[in-house]
Amino acid sequence: MASAKGSSATTADCVYSLDVHTLKHIFNIFDTKKDGLIDRQEFTMCWNKWIKTIIRPVNIFLIIDVQNDFISGSLNISNCSAQQNGLEVIEPINHLLDTVNFDSVFYSFDWHPIDHISFIENLSLRPLDSSSPIKANNAQLYDTVVFEGSPKIKQRLWPKHCVQDSWGAQLYKDLKVVDNAVKIYKGTISDVDSYSVFWDNKKLTQTTLGTQLAQLNATDIYVCGLAYDVCVGATVADALSIGYRTILIDDCCRGVDLSDIEKTKNNVVKNHGVIVQSNEIKTMVEGRDRRPELGYKLALEIEKSMEKENYK
């Protein structure tokens, strides 16, 4: 029925070129008989697993940790090395909530018990491992230490922040909270931190996010919030690893360290996510701008799934 010669991704508003290597790779994923053709059976599989998702994605807006303590409280990120103002994410996030018809909106909360391991004020509560590069009597804010444990726990030290039920843990007052949104709480266990909204840092305990996304048949995750290179970066990395088509909204994020922000961006691109500005989101959600990187990401995930099936 078809063969691979060259193509482009096109929508009503945007046209993107696909390089020949990527195009051939996608073609070969669906050419399961390896005869250089896509027959009716192969096209049916391609349609059901790939094209349908591209045409009719389930779009999730995930707003990470836009809380008082990160904007004007004890861990105001403007005091960190990047000197970025967390307040600047409010206006573009609110505009997206007002103008874009996402299938579901999620808000995450850092939600720590008072004795949380990340608080420098609690450093004396747990013994450091002998391998820790910094000893307890020399540790300062933002240093990384290693606590005893099985496994050992590598932990960056932060000021006490986002304590459960405190003012600092509340969403910032000017952030719009939409009806029927889902709230996810992380970092709730005393002895392990949780940057990602999916998992704690040791990948021992999941939040409810993964289950709820699966129930929604989510395909595309639009991610933003605070801090760019910490909780946003960890969440985006997990979303990509799990297999979601992941979109990082650059101007709706602010971070702690400029070099770590660049590492976050590089990781997104390397793993076939996309980085966009908020003024690009509406056309993407409406299907008038379909990014080839996201199509390729989905094809790669289908390839992994097929390889697992063949292995069985």
Give me the active site residues, please: 65, 186, 231
The stretches of the chain forming alpha helices (DSSP H) are 20-30, 40-46, 52-55, 68-71, 90-99, 209-215, 233-242, 258-270, 281-285, 292-311
Quick one: CA torsion of 260, 266, 272, 278, rounded to 10 degrees? 70
Residue 272 · residue 300 · CB < 8 Å: yes
Q: What is the rounded CA–CA span in Å between residue 143 and residue 10?
A: 48
The neighbouring-strand residues paired with 109 are 185
Q: At what angle are helices 20-30 and 292-311 packed, to 10 degrees?
A: 40
Compute how many other C-beta atoms are within 10 angstroms of the C-beta atom of residue 228: 29
Q: Any residues with CB less than 8 A from the CB of 190 and at least 6 apart, and which?
A: 113, 115, 116, 117
User: Three-class SS of residue 279?
Assistant: helix
Residue 256 · residue 81 · CB < 8 Å: yes
Q: What is the rounded CA–CA span in Å between residue 105 and residue 37?
A: 41
